[in-house]
Structure 1
């Protein structure tokens, strides 16, 4: 064998080996991915029922609530991801609760309030908004919030409580990893509504490769999710922790085949 023939054979062998390596990194089953966040956590002792869900389900915990620290530590002990569910000013008359950010705050107040909020939820790796129809529509206020998030190397998930939200645009400008929820699973606590929202989640995931759902720690929601998440194989869907979304370098919006942005499930501003 000449040196030229040997070199050609080695190149072919290297190509085969590289092909095997590339294929081994590809998704073996091409399953679509869903991400589930349970938020509004921290006030009720029944909130710990969320801990019976698969560990890939993320808990987003309200700051300064009676159970915030304990539930965050329990979740972390399960290798479950934890987020801060940060209260933000809304147009509704519902009480925001402690740790809320409002557009009337000066930068120093936002910095102080955010720092105290994130410190009250151990192991938080990201943030999503609690309510926030007013604040998330304010570019100035959201810029200050995103600066706090960026300083701590966190990510942001826009709960999309208003179609007027600029949160993701501002996050992009501030180079904060960001995403948005696509489905509210239990905005209405009925079997029919949750089933329709679940089907929407699955359709979005299959069409776009992945989708994000937000739900709450209601007993009805937990029971529904236990049943549905236990049968994902039949849907050819996999459940991943929310941080996986950002490790994939995912685009920040979902598109239809025609290129139009798919709207989040419409809800009344809150």
Structure 2
């Protein structure tokens, strides 16, 4: 017994002098998702992301020549796919929305029909977010129709945050549909240095909330976006933040208890 005490004494003295706090003993499980919008549209950065090793979530615009191709390409390479649903904005060209957008002049059944068609247009989709939509997301009748289809088809929703008056959070909670909101836009300024700065912001948000969501784009800003994101990975490793598909964020304790993952 005395020999055991002698052997353990240095270890016991170390613990006495260096107490282990609970927050140190259990490392935080920090997770961030990076959604890349506009697959199916522009080509800039598409190959970089879909042949890369960062598990981005590919948000694919429906009804384009490349919708199915990009969705299948993403799925085959192990990337999660979601629908980037075009919705009417307060400003901007209608041509930016592409075919069959969700606009304020549609009735609920017409909205539902377009969402059903969008789902068929983008194979393997497990969620949806809004493309533009600052006007349409404020229309309760339109958003309710979209959320009803999402519930029926078991899709999660990401509110892209294009309007502070969006009806998505309220109606998704009411109907028990999983929803999270975008925290950071990565490429609102087209430079890789700005994307890196925004990735640091994503890391800070994730450290505070435990979860974080950023949105970037392929197309016009696609190349600078991909470069900025890839250059930021060492920072995320240093901060012990894991990049995950969006669906993995819904398994955490931060989801409202009445949401159904």
Superposition TM-score tier, normalisation by shorter sequence:
0.7 to 0.9
8 Å Cα contact 1:128-1:159 kept in structure 2: yes
Establish whether residue 82 from structure 1 lines up as the match of residue 81 from structure 2.
yes
Alpha-carbon spacing, 1:126–1:249, altered in 2? closer, same or farther (3 Å): farther
Quote the offset at 1:52 in angstroms: 2.9
Conserved? CA contact 1:39–1:216, under 8 Å: yes
Cα RMSD between the aligned structures? 1.7
- 1:32 and 1:200 map into 2 onto residues whose CA distance is 14
1:161 aligns with 2:162: yes
Partners of 2:236 and 2:51 lie apart in 1 by 17
How big is the shift at 1:31? 4.0
The match for 2:55 is 56
Partner secondary structure for residue 86 of structure 1 = strand
Structure 1 match to 2:227: 223
CA distance in 1 between counterparts of 2:115 and 2:28 reads 39
Please point out which of 40, 43, 46 is paired with 1:45.
Answer: 43
- Offset of residue 44 of structure 1: 2.8
Provide, for residues 154-206 of structure 1, a one-character-per-residue CA deviation record: whole Å limited to 9, x for no partner: 00000001122121111111111100100001111124432331221111101
SS in 2 for 1:211: strand
1:23 corresponds to which residue? none
Q: State whether structure 2 residue 251 is matched by structure 1 residue 247.
A: yes
**Runs of 5+ unmatched residues, structure 2:** 1-24, 257-261
CA distance in 2, matches of 1:196, 1:81: 25
Aligned residues of 2:195 and 2:229 also touching (Cα < 8 A) = no
SS of the aligned residue for 2:215 comes to: strand
Q: CA deviation at 1:114?
A: 0.9
Deviation of residue 209 (structure 1)?
0.8
Contact kept in structure 2, 1:45 and 1:67, CA below 8 Å: no
Give me the whole-angstrom Cα distance separating, in 2, the residues matched to 1:224 and 1:55. Answer: 12
Aligned to 2:116: 115
Moved more, 39-48 or 182-191: 39-48
Q: Determine the C-alpha separation between the residues in 2 that align with 1:152 and 1:112.
A: 13
- For residues 202-241 of structure 1, the aligned pairs below 5 Å read 202-217=203-218, 218-241=222-245
Aligned length: 226
TM-score by length of 2: 0.81
Deviation at 1:123, TM superposition (A): 0.2
Q: In structure 2, what is the equivalent of residue 132 of structure 1?
A: 133
In the alignment, structure 1 segments of 5+ residues that lack a partner are: 1-26, 253-270
Task: Tell me the TM-score normalised to structure 1 length.
Answer: 0.79
Cα–Cα, structure 1 residues 167 and 206, in superposed 2: closer, same or farther, change >3 Å? same
CA distance in 2, matches of 1:249, 1:148: 25
Aligned equivalents of 1:53, 1:176: Cα separation in 2: 31
